[in-house]
Amino acid sequence: MDTVPLCLSLKIHLQNPFNNPSSIGKNKTRARDFGIDTAKAKKWGKKEYSSLKHQLKQEEKNHIKEYTKNASPLNSYLRENDGELGSDKIKNKKIEIIDNALKKIKLKESIIVYRGTDGIIFGEEFQKTLMNGNKVNQNVAKKIMKQFEGTALLERGYLSTSIALANQFIARPVLLELKVPKNSEACYVDPISYYPGQYELLIARNTQYHIDDIRVIANGGSSKLKVTAHLMI
């Protein structure tokens, strides 16, 4: 993990995430961003999938669909084994099939994706302390900013994201806005997802992303932590 800069200004801004342009720090390459425009996201996704669906075998589609139904078994297994295959031959086979599918697919352009998550992405100590009721604990937020802004996080499992800022993220205490660069191993899987309508872009396992900015944002009468980051490839 990168070291945190010594001179770090703590940024706590209450703002509307839907009106705030993406902040991507030093990584200023342009990227497609649908934000809350689900109609455009759906149109793009349909076109994207139509060009790649023939590259995927039926077995690969089936295992991706199974993963989208419940990602926990495979992701927990990968995290327990530091992102590598373990001793479970059945899970290993499923992972190899999904890996092979994702290796076939390269993003044709850079894109902004979203993910709703919890304080645990920064460590177990923040899972219960980040939120004070429906508002972010400001002292905990400052600690997270100081410790993690400008660093890199590694996700050992697959990373499920959405190309649109959809309703499923509203209730989560952390909103991750992630820039995925062109040529990344990522596949738009919504048409074969067990839960279509989430506009899911599935990103390969062992993904490392750099945290460019962390801030507190308004969310109606509550607040949440917004993390802006970019994928490192």
115 classed as catalytic: yes
User: Which one from 48, 60, 160, 185 is the annotated catalytic residue?
Assistant: 160
If you search the block for the tokens 């709703």, which residue do you land on?
Answer: 116
Catalytic pick among 60, 115, 185, 193: 115
Q: Which residues pair with 222 in a beta bridge?
A: 219
- Is 200 known to be catalytic? yes
Kindly write down the DSSP assignment for every residue of the chain, as one continuous string. -PPPPSS---------TTTSPP--TT-----B--TT-HHHHHHHHHHHHHHHGGGS-HHHHHHHHHHHH--HHHHHHHHHTTTS--S-HHHHHHHHHHHHHHHH---SS-EEEEEEE-GGGG-GGGTTTSEETTEE-HHHHHHHHHHHTT-EEEE-S-EEEESS--GGGTTSSEEEEEEE-TT-SEEE-GGG-SSTTS-EEEE-SSEEEEEEEEEEEEETTEEEEEEEEEEE-
- Please classify residue 221 by burial: count the beta carbons closer than 10 Å to its beta carbon, then call 0-12 exposed, 13-18 middle and 19+ buried: exposed
User: Is 162 assigned a catalytic role?
Assistant: no
Active-site entry in 185, 193, 200, 223 = 200
Q: Which residues are catalytic?
A: 115, 160, 200
